[in-house]
Structure 1
Amino acid sequence: MSYSLNEKIALVTGGTKGIGKAIADTLHRAGATVVITARTAPKDGENDHYFIAADLSTPDGALTVSANLLEKYGRVDIIINNAGANTSPNGGYSTLSDEDWNHEFQLNLMSAVRINKALLPSMVAQKSGVIINISSGAAMLPLWDITIPYSAAKAALNAYSKGLSGELGPKGIRVLTVSPGVVRTPLMEEFIDNMAEAMNISTDEAAKTLVEKVGNLPLGRMAEPEEVANLVGFLASDEARYLTGTNYLVDGGLMPVV
């Protein structure tokens, strides 16, 4: 399989670090011209892609990205909605404010909805395109004391993705979802650090507690960002041209369902 993306224009939101950076680099190696977004620019020497600064948890952020991208390239062929994070405080329902819930949905659901709405007219006009929404295994395995708003937002993203695939399939556009499990990223390390501080335990103990909460990992380790990116690269390519409307778990066998 060639996984060739030559002459394709790809957008990766949240593309400066972690899974997003790995995806951007993978698409670039496959021949795509890659545009990345984040709230802050990557450090010098850490980015080979066209960067657009934007806060995608706001309506203006999506408009900034779409206007800038279309002005520079005139079209987009691949959209990877990767921007997202679990940012709410731990502790369950009593610790969560309306603001916490709203922020999780703005960042983890509405950022993708707005980017897609802004850029889909150009895809529809060219009768081709691929949208891959990066969700999370947490959507199917919510942890009451850690991920409830995040899980709910990602579950909504899954439903949105499935519905959108039905609308856009006849227009030549594929929509897919990729749901990573526990991945070794800077955000995951920050999450574990915050968890350790809140529980007054060491980071090693916090990491062990997290693994115990989500269940045993059959493969015995966290995923590396590149292992998620490799699947995304395949799904974005013509080799996957008959795939749409499906959610792919990259969880090392974690999910206890058939």
Structure 2
Amino acid sequence: MDTRRPLNITVCVKRVPDTETRIRISPGGADIERDGVKYVPSPYDEFAVEAALQLVEAAGGQSPAGAGSLAGGAGAGTGTGQVTLLSFGPEAAKESLRAGLALGAHRAVLLKGEPGMDGWATARVLAAELEGDAADLVLFGVKAVDDDQQQVGPMVAELLGRPCATSVAAIDVDGGVATCRRAVEGGHEVVELDLPAVLTITKGRYEPRYASLRGIMMAKRKPLVEKEAPSIEAGLVVERLDLPPARPGGRIVGEGPNAVPELVRLLREEAKVL
């Protein structure tokens, strides 16, 4: 029996330095130099946004026209489901939220503040906002590509007292149950969770779409609420950041069969891989 119903989904989005940007350590050594750094939505969060859009569509809901295959005019309170974007960050994070609105999300909320590197503090800020959220699903990217912690989603789930599945590659919702296909080493695991739930999304079924020109124009008119984030003291302090050491140049040890003994020696004594 098909028990689909409209879904309300909140997607937490983080702005991160573009992976193509050259990163420099600040003079104090505990942060990066942020001037001139290009920021983008974390790529895994884009998978989460796409998952939310597809789930709302599959449940019979609609997203504002102008993005991908979704069309229509649903919004808050229409009973047809909606996608809300939530971000904790500086004023400039609105750019990442507008990018998600251009893809088809209905509304966005920015909690203005400086997240820092403490995932636990970030989780508490987000959970405080989500406490009264009636969303059926709260989605995160499986990780943020800047810190690679993979902690905030599960922490938020614990703070909200909701079930959580991580590294989810595909989701099917039937009634009040979400069936999730998790990507695990060497295969997949299928789990079921009662709604409301928290999921972290990885690459799989959901290939992020491109925003159309119409979607970009409509995003400027969609609601984007700005709030001051609650002040929560960080429990983690970064003492020092270091760039990876420069890779040494290659070495030519000879040509033909005569080079094999020297190559074996280098692999054994210097590279220590034999």
State the TM-score bracket (shorter-chain normalisation). 0.3 to 0.5
TM-score, normalised relative to structure 1: 0.37
Q: Which has the higher strand share?
A: 2
Q: Which has the higher helix share?
A: 1
Bigger Rg, structure 1 or 2: 2
**Greater relative contact order (Cα < 8 A, sep 6+):** 2
TM-score, normalised relative to structure 2: 0.35
